[in-house]
A and B are shown apart, each in its own frame.
Chain A
Amino acid sequence: MNIDEAVKTYQTYYCLDCGVCTGSCPVSRVLPTFSPRIIVEKALFELGDELLHDRELWSCLTCGRCFERCPTNINFPEFMRSLREEAARLGTAPVLSHHGMLQTIMELQTQGIQQKKTAWAREAGRIADKGDTFFFVGCMPYFDVIFREIGVDSLSVSRNVIRILNGAGIEPVVSDEESCCGHDMLWNGRFDTFKRLAARNVELIRASGAKRVVFNCPEGYYTFKHHYPQYLGNLGFEVVHFFDFVETMLADGALKLDNGGSVYTYHDPCRLGRMARIYDGPRNILKRIPDGRFVEMERNRENALCCGTSGWANCSSCSKQIQAERLKEARATGAQVLVTACPKCRIHLSCALGNMDLDIQIKDLTMLLAEALQESG
């Protein structure tokens, strides 16, 4: 899609030049040269070349704060995505985090490399080769290896998902053949890679006979729910979030929580919140923890602040500043635990916390659930 087509598709000509996007943008607040409004303006004034070669094309976090508030409903994140696809075609790329290791892993998965995604799962609980419910693990096994050094045990989250699903009498399918969901490739402008990954996953899940796929990661969930049908048509299976199960199980009394006693606040991941519009589920779960107290940050739900980096690209001092601000905001509520529901938010915020002298813990909601779970045998 070239710039003219993107302008037409996302109707950016409705722009009122009002500045709500830039005023809302967490990046613009730190990096004065970055402005969504100016990007839209340049596209409208046919300054496309300049735009596509501008490194700031990759500074956008695609967090959707701007789109949430745009008075003319311009979907800036998606508009940005199409500009990036065009830019990637011209050979420009973002500054890749972690030396591009994660992007390499994603590319490799299009080749069908041998993975060992089930060994840990068999240790964690009961899984199946075929069945109604497929648990899409996502990047957790990779994150677990890469980010253990900053104290984030990503795979424990997946282990606990299996344990809790088992507790509900579900033996999910977990597959060695599962590929990356393609979320980051999509937002890095590498559409072809995304599409190859997506096609592999859909084929695999269909072959497993699963009727529904459970996600714990908001990015995988949103990509399957929103982008897969957009590019691959009807998937033939249902896409559900793990929290839907948990909520039902809590309501039915199948899950019981105790071991509370802390003050919690919740950080809305942008894919789960603004994009998938799941705000209440995680809060309802948190509020059920006995003796716990739930407090909101000043900026919550639709107004939530981003965790500072997206798509393993352009992590910078700007990202760190956003993260530090978010952590201080969480602490200011009096919370002892900042709960999030996205593996990346957890990694990014934990990374920033490592360099700060701030008395707060960061926990994944599923981990917290596992801790608060009453062993009913």
Chain B
Amino acid sequence: MEQVSGKIGDFHVSVRKRARYVNEDLCTGCGSCAEKCPTMAVDVFNAGLGRRKAIYKYFPQGIPSVFTIDAPECRQLGQGKKCGICAKVCQAGAIDYGQKDSIVHLEVGAIILATGYEVFDPSVIPEYAYDRIANVVTALEFERLLSASGPTAGHLDRPSDLELEKEIEEIRKEAKKLDRQIRQLEEKHGRSSASVIEQVAGGADKELRDWAAQAEKLLTMEKSLAELEKRKAAAQPARKLAFIQCVGSRDFRYNRFCSSYCCMHSVKEAMIAFEHDNDVRSTIFCMDLRAVGRGFEEYKLRGGSQAGITYLRGRVAEINEDEARNPVVWYESTTSRQVIHETFDMVILATACIPSSSASKVAELFEVELDENGFFKTDPLAPLNTSRQGIFTCGCAQGPMDIPESVAQASSAAARAAEVVSPARRSA
């Protein structure tokens, strides 16, 4: 959004449409560009856990089903190198490296602010060590790990093991390069590296010393590689899970409000993890599990009786890490009045729903008020009305709520907007 003026029934809005470097009228979404694209980038949709190409679709089911170039990552656009592969393979001729941002002018009678929310960043809570312990993840990251289209194809591989894999890959690549160099030396001089190492021990010229040093480096690399491979072979999928509720919500230090949907998504994630692997056992740490909604209480109970979920009353005090990179959770079970430390394979933080970082900018642009928590302020008796006539809001832009409620609100907001514009339609 660039500019908003006018009043109810007659708003003028300028919208900046970002360049995607793909002509969306031509793109058929076939995906051969992404297949051939040589550049990998961090996959934001997979919560940074996986990688994707520099030409991509944000997520598989996204609408419109059209590709976009991640300009800063792209060799041609971001790095000024010669590439052009996607343009070559695109049969529809949809690639347009010269595309620019464009401004779209809209004349509208009503506006609905559905700008959504953001997820609380738990790395500001020192006692949960989210930024330090690999196997402590957010619910959203866990959701991607559980997803069949996610970075692990739905298997519960632990992030520490994924890191291990990456480390092995990197060392292997380097070792391969070194190995090639050493082989060349061996062929050129017709002697083995072992004999060179032996000779160097008794003193030798620089060339031989370098050779020996390289050969020795390769040996240490191979040794550590074997060690890491052994660890990787012994790696087990996560089976003992801890879910921690109210991370960044119901907490005076961060957000006082209840984030409302996290209780249910923790139960859901624990259920799905169990369905994927019946040996999974989950503990949900909470002060109270707020299962308010049709069928929610029954779902929660079913999780307890049929999906290996334990509900434990007590907010987790801190998370440490043991030598095997397992998170160790310290808490007081307030029902048994015992301070307990328990080791889990993975810890999932139910992070709070917080106002979108752009909310204050949007509020300023549209001249609407924010509430004390930073969400769009609404009239208690007309919950979709913002403080300005003709502008409505719905979903998490207004406050934390789950998907069904957001959908219901969206329909409702659309109806409220229709009330404003329908007389105009008849008059025309």
A19 contact set on B, CB distance < 8 A: 313-315, 317, 331-334
Chain B: minimal CB distance from A361 (Å): 24
Comparing A32-40, A105-113, A316-324, the segment that makes contact with chain B is: A32-40
The reply to whether the CB of A350 lies closer than 8 angstroms to some CB of chain B is no
For chain B, give the interface size range. 20 to 34
For the complex, give the distance between the alpha carbons of A32 and B315 in Å: 18
Q: Which A residues contact B (CB, under 8 angstroms)?
A: 14, 16-25, 28-29, 32, 35, 37-38, 68-69, 71-73, 298-299, 301-303
Q: Which residues of A contact B287 (CB under 8 A)?
A: 16-18
Chain B, residue nearest A36 (CB): B332
If A19-B334, A71-B253, A72-B252 touch, whether A28 touches B339 (CB-CB below 8 Å) is: yes
Q: How far is the CA of A169 from the CA of B318 in the complex (A)?
A: 46
- CB neighbours (8 Å) of A35 from chain B are 332, 337
A24 in contact with B127 given A18-B315, A72-B252 (CB within 8 Å)? yes
Question: B251's closest neighbor in chain A, by CB?
Answer: A71
Q: How far is the CB of A68 from chain B (nearest CB, A)?
A: 8
Whether A23 contacts B332 by the Cβ 8 Å rule is yes
A51 and B250 CA atoms in complex are apart in Å by 28
Say yes or no: A71 contacts B339, CB within 8 Å: no
Find out whether the CB atom of A71 lies under 8 angstroms from the CB atom of B333.
no
A23 touches B252 (CB 8 A): no
Which B304-321 residues sit within 8 Å CB-CB of chain A? 313-318, 320-321
Q: Is the CB of B318 within 8 A of A32?
A: no
Docked pose: A73 CA to B331 CA in angstroms: 18
The total of Cβ contacts below 8 Å across the A-B interface reads: 75
Query: Cβ of A16: which chain B residues have Cβ within 8 Å of it?
Result: 250, 287, 315
Which positions 98-127 of chain B face chain A at CB distance < 8 Å? Answer: 126-127
Question: What are 26 sample pairs from A and B whose C-beta atoms fall under 8 A apart?
Answer: A16-B287, A16-B315, A18-B314, A18-B334, A19-B314, A20-B315, A20-B316, A20-B317, A23-B339, A24-B317, A24-B318, A29-B330, A29-B339, A32-B337, A32-B339, A35-B332, A35-B337, A68-B127, A69-B127, A69-B317, A69-B318, A71-B246, A71-B251, A71-B252, A302-B127, A303-B318
Interface residues of B (CB under 8 A from A): 126-127, 246, 250-253, 287, 313-318, 320-321, 330-334, 337-339
In the assembled complex, which residues on chain B have CB atoms less than 8 Å from the CB atom of A25? 339
Residue of B nearest to A33 (CB): B337
With A22-B339, A303-B127 known as contacts, the answer to whether A73 contacts B317 (CB < 8 A) is: no
Q: For A17, list chain B residues within 8 Å (CB).
A: 287, 334
Contact A301 B126 (CB under 8 A): yes
Q: How far is the CB of B316 from chain A (nearest CB, A)?
A: 7
Cβ-closest chain A residue relative to B333:
A19
Q: Name the B residues within 8 Å of A69 (CB-CB).
A: 127, 317-318
CB neighbours (8 Å) of B331 from chain A are 19, 23
Instruction: Report A-chain residues with C-beta under 8 Å of the C-beta of B253.
Output: 71, 73
Which residues on the B side are within 8 Å of A22 (C-beta)? 317, 332, 339
- With a cutoff of 8 Å between Cβ atoms, the chain B residues found around residue A302 in the complex are 126-127
Give the distance in Å from the alpha carbon of A25 to the alpha carbon of B331 in the complex.
10
Q: Within 8 Å CB of B320, what residues of A?
A: 298-299
Chain B's closest residue to A300 (CB) is B126
| B247–chain A nearest beta-carbon distance, Å | 10
| Least distance between A37 CB and chain B CB atoms (Å) | 7
Cα separation A18 to B249 with both chains bound (whole Å): 13
The smallest beta-carbon distance between B44 and chain A, in angstroms, is: 30
B250 close to A71 (CB less than 8 A): yes
Which of chain A's residues have a CB closer than 8 A to the CB of B252?
Answer: 14, 71-73
| Given A35-B332, A72-B252, CB of A23 within 8 Å of CB of B314 | yes
The 8 closest A-B pairs by CB, nearest first: A23-B317, A19-B332, A18-B315, A71-B251, A23-B332, A22-B332, A24-B317, A19-B314
Q: Shortest distance in angstroms between B120's beta carbon and chain A's nearest beta carbon?
A: 13
B137 CB, nearest partner CB in chain A, Å: 19
Which single residue of chain A is at the shortest CB-CB distance from B125?
A: A69
Q: State A301–B127 Cα separation when bound (angstroms).
A: 10
Whether A23 contacts B246 in the complex (CB less than 8 A), given A18-B287, A29-B339, A302-B126, comes out as: no
In chain B, what residue has the closest Cβ to A22?
A: B332
Closest CB of chain B to A53's CB: distance in Å?
21
